[in-house]
């Protein structure tokens, strides 16, 4: 393996390919390009020229930040790559956010175990997480 961590936005094609290889499912190529270009911060890990791990931060750059798309190619799991990506995101947060910043994520199990090592906690009982239902009401 020839592993390299870089902070450049990957191509949308590489991003969608990694989504598929990591089990996160496909996304539209054009919308992926827009999303990637609007990221506040990205960390990409390559094995030679193949994107094998990725994570990014999205948000407004002032108050609200969201950890998104933490993914590792299924053939490269259990090597600490997700933890390395999260450490890079932590470094960004340490340098660019404030005590009252709102930093959130939505975790799939068992990824919550990874995020708990990086200062993320479950919501208190007086709060709840929610997702907007994007299905057409006519369906």
pLDDT for 139 equals: 53
Mean pLDDT over residues 31-45, rounded?
Answer: 98
Number of folded domains that form the chain: 1
- Is 138 a member of any domain? no
Whether residue 135 is predicted with pLDDT greater than 90 in this model: the reply is no
Does the residue 137 lie in any domain? no
What is the CATH number for 58?
3.40.630.30
How far is it, in rounded angstroms, from Cα 45 to Cα 29? Answer: 20
The model's confidence at residue 137, banded by pLDDT at 50, 70 and 90, is low
* pLDDT (mean) for 87-100: 96
pLDDT tens digits, 70-82: 999 999 999 999 9
Q: List all residues 6 or more positions away from 101 whose beta carbon is below 8 Å from its beta carbon.
A: 63, 64, 65, 93
User: Which tens digit of pLDDT belongs to each residue from 106-122?
Assistant: 887 777 778 888 888 88
| Residue 130 lies inside a defined structural domain of this protein | no
Report yes or no on 100 lying in a domain.
Answer: yes
Which domain covers residue 42, as residue numbers?
3-116
pTM of the model: 0.88
The candidate with the shortest Cα–Cα distance to 72, out of 8, 3, 120, 118, is 3
Mean pLDDT calculated for residue range 54-60 = 97
20 CB-contact burial (10 Å; exposed 0-12 / middle 13-18 / buried 19+): middle
Does a structural domain hold residue 122?
no
């Amino acid at each position: 393996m020839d592993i390299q961590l870089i902070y450049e936005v990957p191509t949308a094609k590489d991003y969608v390919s990694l989504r598929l290889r990591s089990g996160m499912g496909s996304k539209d190529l054009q919308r992926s390009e827009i999303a990637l270009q609007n990221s506040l911060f990205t960390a990409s890990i390559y094995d030679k020229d193949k994107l094998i791990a990725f994570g990014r931060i999205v948000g407004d750059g002032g108050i609200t930040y969201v950890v998104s798309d933490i993914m590792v190619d299924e053939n490269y799991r259990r090597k600490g790559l997700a933890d390395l990506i999260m450490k890079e995101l932590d470094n960004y947060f340490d340098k660019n956010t404030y005590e009252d910043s709102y930093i959130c994520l939505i975790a799939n199990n068992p990824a919550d175990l990874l995020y708990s090592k990086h200062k993320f906690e479950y919501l208190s009982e007086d709060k709840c997480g929610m997702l907007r239902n994007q299905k057409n009401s006519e369906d």
